[in-house]
Amino acid sequence: MENKRTLLIEAENFEDVGGWVIDQQFMDYMGSPFLLAHGMGIPVKDAVTKVHFPETGIFHVWVRTRDWAAPWKREVPEGVYQAPGRFQLLVNGQTLDAIFGTKKAKWHWQYGGTIKIEQNTNELRLHDLTGFEGRCDAVLFSKDAKLLPPDDGLELKNFRKKLLGFPDEDKNVGKYDFVVVGGGIAGICASVAAARKGVSVALIQDRPLVGGNNSSEIRVQLGGKVNLPPYPAIGNLVNELNPNFSQNARPAERYKDWLKMELVKNETNLHLFLNTHVNGVETDGQKIKSVIAQSVITGESRKFEAPVFADCSGDGTLGYLAGADYWYGRESRKETGERLAPKEADELTMGTSVMWYSVKRKGEYSFPETPWAVQFDESTCQKVIRGDWNWELGLGRDQLEESEFIRDYGFRVIYGNWSFLKNKSSFDEEYKRRRLEWVSYIGGKRESRRLLGDVLLKQQDIESNKLFPDACVTATWTIDLHYPKDIEGLDEETFRTTARKKKIQPYSIPFRCLYSRNIDNLMMAGRNISVTHVALGTVRVMKTTGMMGEVVGLVASLCKKLDTLPRNVYQKYLSRFKETLTEGVPAKKEK
């Protein structure tokens, strides 16, 4: 961290983040986790840390930040626009003159002037001014007035690495039997299933808790049914995960984060790595040798080795990094033969939900005017007290590269709608005693990359109830596809969707959808398995993805026992596969 002339302080490494939250969702695209002032219109508590300066004297100051609403600035009347994410930097109680988060739409180093450092140990504070999603990536001090810190790309990565003193080689944490990337429901089940069968497992999760879309951070219900033929035991592990609560966007305690964390932590063969983001792989031909994962908090990189891996990331991140074949968007009817497929292929996906809810309390609650947000009137505003799954965004955008834009548009919609209801609507009496209680800042994605296996599950396989010899997970959800829903009179892109559902009979997903067709030691469970866009509409719910995880974890145990790879489990050991699924995941041991 130390350099006599230049110091870099990563915001996510502050000793006390106060009311700010660490947001790591976009680090593959903007370079780093950052602190987000997610106050829902109320300024958050200061983030505070102590910094050691090896020298005193005059230092120039930069803060890496952005004006997150600037992409839509043209829609705000001249003279009215003020950046919603404004914040200040204080050094030893002295406030710098610059207001940060006000200059550019993209991530950049905003210059903050100079400050005199008169002692070695100094206190830094990030002081939020609005409560509306201010963001700070890092703070830079330098005696070099001509320094031009790089804004992005490899140059920025190397700049950080040098100033933070990271070694050239990644720390090797050792070899496991099985490495699982992604700690959502599928990843939990894959890890626990393997661990209970005697497999040493590393579960790598980039958030501070497990649960994914079913955690208190996103709050999506567990959908689907479990314990069905041909393997009624598959689903027993899902049943340990609060499966009977079936509502979206409800209070945090309903999602029982503690239960999921305990389930993972109580397995002696399972090693959990939280706040750890996979952003690299090492391969040998068509096999993954190791994954490289960066600590979201410290920035340090570690290497995890294993003979077998599972991609439960949702986005197919591990497979993508390893060069696995994948599809994105909608296939054409000609390609798949599906009646529900579009005539021409496109990149439309199901979108990202940013859910929210309000509560009624004693007294009245104000809410600021939001001229930078989406502007509503009586005909376009949504007269609701909660935003559920159908507050869904970015269906025509890139759910990966534009993910920050998509999430931020969700903020503009929610805050703009709520501001209108509170301040201008004829319904304002109904909303006066309501407070905006929760808005998710983690996007709840439905679709991005789908990794291709030896079988690509299609609509006709589902409707004909095709019998696969390696049938393993029985799915029950309808073919549930989402499409943009236009709002008449709204000048900006829509944020609501409609669901078109087609009933099905329960059908079985083949195991060949759960391993990569070109990366020999990679399996997958979750919404990134080998299915078409249409088939994704039915496999993507979390009880179903949890059962996929159970199967993948059980297969990992077979790979260890038989010293083999996933494809060989199907091709050479199908009877053992069936016996293992019949037994299911062992019950947890009572203490």
Write down the CATH number for the domain with range 176-332+448-482+494-583: 3.50.50.60
Enumerate the β-bridge partners of residue 154. none
Determine the 3-state secondary structure of 278 from DSSP. strand
Q: How far apart are CA 260 and CA 437, in angstroms?
A: 24
* Per-residue pLDDT, 590: 67
The per-residue pLDDT for 588 is 84
Q: CA 36 to CA 363: how far, in whole Å?
A: 29
Beta bridge partners of 304: 291
Query: Encoding tokens for residue 425?
Result: 């609507």
Q: What are phi and psi of 295, to 5 degrees?
A: -65, 125
The answer to whether 292 and 278 are in contact (CB under 8 A) is: yes
Spatial separation of the C-alpha atoms in residues 587 and 19, rounded to whole Å: 40
In terms of DSSP bridges, do strands 522-524 and 308-311 run parallel, antiparallel, or are they unpaired? parallel
The CA distance from 494 to 163, in Å, is: 43
Measured distance CA(6)–CA(190) in Å, rounded: 45
Residue 321's CB is within 10 A of a number of other CB atoms, namely 21
Backbone angles phi, psi at 192, to 5 degrees: -65, -40
Cα separation of 347 and 343, whole Å? 13
Return the number of other C-beta atoms located less than 10 Å from residue 174's C-beta: 12
pTM over cut 0.85: yes
Residue 4 has what pLDDT? 67
Report how far Cα 524 is from the mean position of its chain's Cα atoms.
Answer: 17
Decide: residue 578, CB within 10 A, 0-12 exposed, 13-18 middle, 19+ buried: middle
Q: Report the pLDDT value the prediction gives residue 507, as an integer from 0 to 100.
A: 97
Closest Cα to residue 308, out of 176, 174, 187, 172? 176
Structure tokens at 184: 């959502």
d(CA 390, CA 102): 32
What fold characterizes domain 6-164? Answer: Jelly Rolls (2.60.120)
pLDDT of residue 430: 81
Please check whether residue 444 is in contact with residue 393, taking contact to mean a CB–CB distance below 8 angstroms.
no
591: its two tokens: 């203490």
Residue 2: predicted pLDDT: 46
Domain boundaries, the chain: 6-164, 176-332+448-482+494-583, 352-444
Burial of 437 (0-12, 13-18, 19+ CB in 10 A): middle
Cα→Cα distances 179→151, 174, 271, Å: 33, 11, 10
The alpha carbon torsion through 324, 328, 331, 337 (nearest 10 deg) reads: 40
Q: Which residues of the chain have pLDDT under 50?
A: 1-2
Q: Which residue do the tokens 């007035």 mark?
A: 145
Cα distance between residue 52 and residue 361, in whole Å: 45
pLDDT of residue 77: 73
